Amino acid sequence: MLADLQQLALAAAPQEICGILFGRDGRVSARRAAKNVADDPLRHFEIDPRTLIAAEREQRNGGERILGYYHSHPNGPVKPSTTDAESAAPDGRLWLIVNGQDAAAWHTAKNGEIYGRFDAITLDCFGAKGQTAAEWKS
Ligand SMILES: [Zn+2]
Distance between Cα 61 and ligand 1 center (Å): 30
Distance 128 CA to ligand 1 centre (A): 22
- Ligand 1 centroid distance, CA of 56 (Å): 22
What pLDDT, on a 0 to 100 scale, did the predictor assign at position 22? Answer: 92
Identify the active-site residue in 16, 64, 86, 113. 16
- The predicted structure's pLDDT at residue 125: 58
User: Which domains does the chain carry?
Assistant: 2-136 (3.40.140.10)
Q: Characterize 20-38 residue by residue with b for buried, 16 or more Cβ atoms within 10 angstroms of its Cβ, and e for exposed.
A: bbbbeeeebeebbbbbbeb
Query: What is the predicted pLDDT for the residue at 52?
Result: 96
User: Where is pLDDT greater, at 131 or 18?
Assistant: 18
Question: Which DSSP letter does residue 47 get?
Answer: B
> Does the annotation mark 56 as catalytic?
no
- 42-58 tens-digit pLDDT: 999 999 999 999 999 99
Half-sphere exposure of 114 (CA within 13 A, CB side): 24
Segment 56-107, tens digit of pLDDT: 999 999 999 999 999 999 988 999 999 999 999 999 999 999 998 888 889 9
Q: Please list, in sequence order, all residues whose beta carbon lies within 8 angstroms of the beta carbon of residue 110, skipping any fewer than 6 positions away.
A: 90
